[in-house]
Amino acid sequence: MALNTGAIDWIEAHAHELEEVSDKMWELAEVGLQEMRSAELLTEYLRNRGFHVESGMAGMPSAFTASWGSGSPVIGFLGELDALPGLSQKPSPRREPVHTGAPGHGCGHNLLATSALGAACAVQEVMKQQNISGTVRYYGCPAEETLIGKVAMVKEGLFDDVDAVLDWHPNVFNDVRLHWSNAVNSVKFAFTGRTSHAASDPENGRSALDAVELMNVGANYLREHIPQKARIHYVITDGGGEPNVVPANAEVWYYVRAPERQTVEEIHGRLRNIAAGAALMTETSFEERFLAGCYSLLPNLPLTRMIHQVMEEIGGPQWTSEEKEFARIVAESFGPDQRETVIKARKAPAEVHQQLLHEGVMPFTEEETFGAGSTDVGDVSWVVPTGRFTAATAVIGQPGHSWQFAACSGMSIGHKGMKFAAKVLAEGGLRILSDSKLLEEAKEDWRKRTAGNEYKTPLPDGYVPPLDQLPRH
């Protein structure tokens, strides 16, 4: 199937507008569940293009959907809205916060949201011009970093009528793989004891902090007895006030990850038992608060093949000498062998070893790969066939969730990757809308992968997104 140049032409013609939207989101840099101004920026653009917008979805003020067209097939594009705490950064190759300690787009969600926006509008325009039937829908998804947004939207049934979803993420490579991720639970354990003077009457105190620390010791011993690919990690969010006061309140926040959803639930249950044991040892009590949970990412072979073909046909971004110099200075901040480690982990071809900014498209194989991270796109992929890829918006070797990533996301390196991704999304969406065989193959692959593993939301009955946790620590 030849490229539909109408979508690509629309993106090129509106490139400056898209860059302005992306840069405005980058400046706003709002953390999860607080992304109201970012959501307003995107919904205003979509309304002006004739999309029907519904806001405040699934109990989250910043969540929204925007639809255009009618009937089937329904193609969905995902936009993520949230920034990360503490990663404020100017578009500079050296560490220069805009405001010290403020949030920044250290995961490139400003680029992600804007490219999906451009793709949805480009597909809409071609559907009008070429009389293509169906529906295009944009999802404004908050709180991806805390794995809340899409899981709650799936639970609300917002993807029930969708035939296929296309998604991407900023990265250091132009790449598409049959890639799995970890499922995860996010949960807080709050212990309550009894305060006393730590010096004059410690015998009257019951330390909630002691309970937290004993729980953490128990969890560390548990690590030896969980599957190799599973992960347990935590932070103490409340450890008391002053050393001379026995803390009556303390809290610890845990993530439990594993490739299979069932394994996450099993480890979580064992962790809960450790919390109960810690409370028993310290004569305290505890409450457990479930914040979020998600499934692993489910790949889709027909959509992945199609995406790779489209990426090859469009061709990756080309970089100017100024952008390469920016990348060279950024790379000076890397640790020893950082670039080489990333390149080897991806098994990149020889020509990539000489690049600071990825040119071209990574070779595709049907080998299935696994990543230790987690994403709430996983839940979407378990209820609708989902194709996902990455585009180069950053310097090879730089970590995610970093000031370096925030810097590149606010300048031309990020812009070029964003526009490339928008073109891939738009062309891929049009092929799904126009090719019933491709869509049926994607659905059949999805049915085979989910057979015998019916999706069940990880969110408990009565779950309410933790808006009261904001601003979070």
What CATH number should be reported for the domain holding residue 412?
3.40.630.10
Residue 465 covered by a domain: no
> Which of residues 264, 294, 324 is at a domain's end?
294
pTM attached to this predicted model: 0.94
In a shared domain, residues 40 and 128: yes
In a shared domain, residues 22 and 161: yes
> Which of residues 294, 327, 361 is at a domain's end?
294
Q: What angle do CA 433, 454, 461 make, to 5 degrees?
A: 105
In a shared domain, residues 160 and 239: no
Would you tell me how many other CB atoms lie within 10 Å of the CB of residue 440?
12
In a shared domain, residues 122 and 253: no
Per-residue pLDDT band at 74 (split at 50, 70, 90)? very high
Q: Provide mean pLDDT across the span 436-440.
A: 98
Would you tell me how many other CB atoms lie within 10 Å of the CB of residue 227?
12
Cα(434)–Cα(445) distance, integer angstroms: 19
Per-residue model confidence (pLDDT) at position 469:
59
Per-residue pLDDT band at 181 (split at 50, 70, 90)? very high
In a shared domain, residues 14 and 113: yes
In tens, the pLDDT along 93-134 reads 999 999 999 999 999 999 999 999 999 999 999 999 999 999
Using an 8 Å Cβ cutoff, are 208 and 193 in contact?
A: yes
Nearest to 207 by CA among 98, 314, 282, 286: 282
Task: Determine what percent of the chain is predicted with pLDDT higher than 90.
Answer: 94
Residue 373 covered by a domain: yes
Per-residue model confidence (pLDDT) at position 92:
98
Range of the domain at 247: 183-294
Residue 463 covered by a domain: no
Residue 320 covered by a domain: yes
In a shared domain, residues 315 and 431: yes
Per-residue model confidence (pLDDT) at position 472:
43
In a shared domain, residues 55 and 172: yes
Residue 252, helix vs strand vs coil: strand
Residue 196 has pLDDT above 70, yes or no: yes
Per-residue model confidence (pLDDT) at position 161:
97
In tens, the pLDDT along 372-410 reads 889 999 999 999 999 999 999 999 999 999 999 999 999
Q: Provide mean pLDDT across the span 23-45.
A: 97
Using an 8 Å Cβ cutoff, are 253 and 186 in contact?
A: yes
Residue 473 has pLDDT above 80, yes or no: no
CATH label of the domain that carries residue 193? 3.30.70.360
Q: Provide mean pLDDT across the span 287-295.
A: 95
> Which of residues 271, 294, 317 is at a domain's end?
294
Residue 225 covered by a domain: yes
In tens, the pLDDT along 13-22 reads 999 999 999 9
Burial (0-12, 13-18, 19+ Cβ within 10 Å), 367: exposed
Q: How many domains does the chain have?
A: 2
